[in-house]
Chain A
Amino acid sequence: MLFYVIRRFIYMLIILAVMSVTAFLIIQLPPGDYVEMYIHQLEISGQTVDEAEIASLRRQYGLDLPVYLRYFKWVWGILHGDFGRSLQWGKPVSELIGERLLLTVVVNLFTVIFTYAVAIPIGIYSATHQYSVGDYAFTVIGFAGLATPNFLFALVLMVLFYKYFGLSVGGLFSPEYTTAPWSIAKFVDMLKHLPIPIIVIGTAGTAGLIRVMRGCLLDELRKQYVITARAKGVSERVLLFKYPVRVAVNPIFSTIGWMLPSIVSGGTITAIVLSLPTIGPLLYRALMSEDMYLAGSMVLLLSLLTIVGTFISDLLLLWIDPRIRYEKGG
């Protein structure tokens, strides 16, 4: 058991290392380097550029070093909390990301909870009432949810709310709380704004999960032990929840690792449309203005979020499903 956890942890570190190389490549891809752009920006704003300052900037970012050394310098900086400076904002990246990272975690976490809370009961209902009106209705809704791109769904919701209620549904806070420090009132305000982003981000995942849950449970219900239990006179409710549901839920939890990347993905694009104060819009703006240090750091952070989330879900699975412990525990 412990061996498995350690192995999994080391594995996660390796993935993170590879991911950091990818993120660094993204930073390096556009032509010209960071300091050149910085100088250019200063010149536009009419400031004079000091030769000594340029040299010190170059040294600070290690631009006089070969690529691989530069990479290590960047990683070293990140390990010490220094993500580089954002060109556009003229601030350290870590300062810009801080609260947004927290909110990103909050939004994604709530989305995962929403997805499971909705998908599992509906999946059970659909499987036990196969080919009923409800089953068909959920199937249609599910397929529509899968087929609608997140951003389009968000856009349509915004348009409808604007047209019929005159409301703007973007953001996570009401204007009066946007810059206010954290308080209970601000938290409550956030909870009020959360449903729409969560529904938008969660639909696709929910739709997929309903299909999986329905399929697994249907397979399980056809098995002999269910017939045996029924023949013995076990009540339907006990019969359903004691075995088949528990077995059918397993594959759903084991795929959480695949669901998380898609939720983070969907969250990014939805956040841009709904202008949530999460990492998504910042990443978008950074990419549009070629603010590569900011962009690279955020691609890395979003991946980090996913990878760590997957790791945690693996541990959860280990705890839920004893079979994995025996199989891989060694």
Chain B
Amino acid sequence: MAVISLPYKYLERLTRTDRKTILDKVALIGSDVERVEEDHADVEFFPDRPDLFSPEGVARAMRGFLEIETGLPSYPVKPSGISFTVDPKLADIRPVLGAAVIRGVEFDDESIQSIMSLQESLHWAVGRGRSKVAIGIHDLDMVSPPFRYIASPRTRAFVPLDYTEPMTMNEILVKHPKGRDYAKIVNDFPLFPLIVDNEDNVLSFPPIINGERTRVTIDTKNILLDTTGTDKRAVAVAVNIICTAMAEAGATIESVGISGVQTPTLAPVERTVSVLECNRLLGVDLTVSSMVSLLQKMRFGAEPAGADRLKVQVPCYRADIMHDWDLFEDVAIAYGYDKIQDLPPKTYTVGKPHPVQVHAAIAREVFCGLGYLEVMPFTLTNEDVLYTKMQRTEHPGVLRVMHPISIDNTVVRTDLLPLLLEFLTMNRHRELPQRLFTVGDVVDSCHTHLQAAGVSTHRDADFSEAYASADAVLHELSIEYSVKESADPAFIDGRRADILVEGKKAGIFGEIHPAVLNAFDLEQSVAAFEIDLRCVLGSAGMQDIS
């Protein structure tokens, strides 16, 4: 999420109303007011609306929403006469370039900060951490056009931002903090992207770092914007959002020629939508003209185009409008979620529990009847608990997560008993007897199913207790079973048995082996059992959707 700092004075001047009116309503366009400070507010906006990542963008939206100025904002663009060439060798490296000239800026510390933070938010939301889009902002008057976007040898040196001595690009990736942060984006390429001017001065090594030469300061009057990346649409969006924000701040925008094409145009995109479809989606009853004004309130251009149709002009900064329904959401926001009639659907339906959960509920009921207390352990655990401490060999269907957060959470559980023993360890200081159970999901390869397990610990916990409890659960679930001597090393030889259903192993019960008790730091004997609930009649084949 992007948290945008909104200085009141600047925001009030741009929005042409007071801070209270703005802050009272800003959540209604889709945001969370995080902090209200003396001189500014921090407001969080959603990642689909990068056009709101600056005070200028927020003011533009709020002028519409508060009906101070509605409809499509216009951004005239005239040619700058400046041009770029793009090196064909960049095709497999970082092929897309966008650029613009922004004239007549008047920076102070606050507005420089604002444009820098817009740049950073765009890197995050649109640029995917600069891999898809990276933005460079330069003092145009420090360099001389035309410019060239080239694939350069990695040994080329220049003075990067915040340094005084030249460094090769190879060195920048190792020594410069930004170089280290973003090296992984370019490291595999034989040549590196570089933007130079007519005199071969370096403007930028995208997506890593600008040159010190074009640093933007309070004295900067004219800006050259470069935007490079791998995706045409994303690069264009970033250019449009920065240019229109700067235009809102009072600058004029000029296009540049990139390989002969003038860009940006900052022109809206046209869409024709149906009022009926909008009404059907939202459950409202809007007329053509009311929908026109709602869209205008959201800064779209809109005009009727027939009985049911509207011609909508989508401003160039609205990257999120991919589909007609995206416009309908804006209509709903302008209309107000609180004004939409909220009635549940009329169709009659009957609730239906899933059989697997019905079985689970019965198992829980039986355990409770036997005096067992339910616990709900995590499903992520580790091999040490599941297998080593249990003296068991690894389950063939165990799944390992590729990047665990800690050594305690490396696998998804294949059994429940070890986790119950862990619980007994945690509760050693609590009064005995302790009888604990859990009913929950385990995995076997990519399949999930329910198992049920119980443990009982006290001075007299033994095989007979385990057998009796397991039998009760099995009986109540109508599971017909037989038993045979087990070889499970987690249990004591001669005090362990496998539960067989239709000849297949479906569970285990017995007395936990003293070596396992030692491993779990337990001092009292433990009677334990675990049942695979796939053996409940009628539950085969309905275990999961996967």
A and B from one assembly?
no
The residues of A with any CB-CB pair to B shorter than 8 Å are none
Residues of B with Cβ closer than 8 Å to A?
Answer: none
